[in-house]
Amino acid sequence: MSYYQHPSFEGGRGRAADNPYDDDGYGGGGRSSADSFYIKDSRTLQKEIRDINQHIISISKRLDDNATTTSSGGGGNVELSSYSSSSGGYALDDVRSMIDKAVTLTSCAQKDVNEFKEYVCNAPTPQDAMNRQQMLNKFTNNVSTLAKQLEDVVRRYATLKKETAAAAEQQQGYSNKKKKTNKRGNSGGPRSTTSSSSSRSHHHHSTTATTTSSIRSSSTSRRRGNDDSSRNSDSKIGGDGLWQQQHKNISSVISQNSNAVYEYGERKLRSTAAAAAELLKSSTSPIQREEHHQDRQQQQQMGGGIDLEEGLSRDKLDDIKRIGAEMGELQDIYTTLNSDMARQQDNIDSIHDAMLRTLDTTQRTNIELQQATDKRDTSLKRKVYAFTALAATAGLYMLISSI
């Protein structure tokens, strides 16, 4: 196998490149010698690039021919060692030698491009440096593009070689099978009888082995079934058992979600009840609580209470009656709230709304009671406060007990 003979390449080195203005050995200036080396190496690189391009085109054409031959060769019956003139394909060994040659050319071209950079560094004028840099960029781009194309060609070659080898192996197996069939057809007499008896014996042994394996598998399955039945006595066989298992799983998920919703609602109601208690506690000032305590002591000393209707006018009594009716509505709200609590997570939002309405009604009733009482009658005022706090506390206790 003969490889490409790389031409001589100056690469900007030598006496002319080191000192461009020295005289050359032929009476000319060093500048002309340096330019001649630059021109010579430029032509060498151009020739290398053309050769690489031609090799890649030739390799691609031969790979296409081999691919066509493989696809239409009757199961991949392709000659691997010589050219097939009837099918128009080339041997893959020849393609491999062309690829090796193209790789050698590309490697030499890349090396020459690196050496060509010295011409840019040793340019005598800035204009020459710019021109040589442009030429260097052109050579670099061309060689890089050809290197990528060569990589694609190598991949195609590797793929085609695998496909051809697989097709040849398949064809060889088909030929061997055909030869065995012909040999069996030509043989007769006692040999055929012996072969038939041996085939029957082989069939009998295979049947016995199959039966034994089926018995073992059935016994194994029965043991596994007994173990499964002992672990889960409620499970059934078939579609009904699967449906019941899925139903149990779904029911457990629903119950878990329901418990989670109920726990969330319970925490929310407890926090709301605590907030209501704090609000009612904070609505009564320390002075009012002290007055209420003094009033209780005074009632214990006097041995009796003060009538609620004393010292009030008819308008005030009407207001008190109306407020009593509102307190009845408040009791109804507490009753509704208690019934809603029995429905757990389905009415958590309505329970929360009822709590808010209860707080609003309690606050409004407290304000109206304060406005309805006579400011000069401190004992009546304390009694009204006590009545309001007692009603609200009773409702909250009823709510908390229902939770």
Residue 333 pLDDT more than 70? Answer: yes
Range scoring the smallest mean pLDDT among 89-93, 260-264, 360-364: 260-264
Taking the C-alpha atoms of residue 275 and residue 232, their distance in angstroms, rounded to an integer, is 49
Q: What pLDDT digit, counting tens, does each position of 280-328 carry?
A: 555 555 555 666 666 666 655 555 444 444 555 667 777 777 787 888 7
Residue with the larger pLDDT of the pair 322 and 272: 322
CA distances from 285 to 34, 288, 289, 395 (A): 109, 5, 6, 21
Cβ atoms 111, 71 nearer than 8 A: no
CA distances from 153 to 64, 91, 146, 245 (A): 11, 16, 10, 60
CA distances from 186 to 143, 180, 195, 198 (A): 64, 10, 13, 18
Which residues 6+ apart lie within 8 Å of 119 measured at CB? 11, 12, 17, 38, 41, 132, 136
Structure tokens at 387: 């009545």
- For the residues 210-221, what does the mean pLDDT come to? 49
Whole-prediction pTM: 0.37
Which parts of 244-339 are beta strand (E)? none
Residue spans of the domains in the chain: they are 15-184, 264-402
User: What residue type is assigned to position 374 of the chain?
Assistant: D
pLDDT score of 368: 72
What dotted CATH number matches 15-184? Answer: 1.20.58
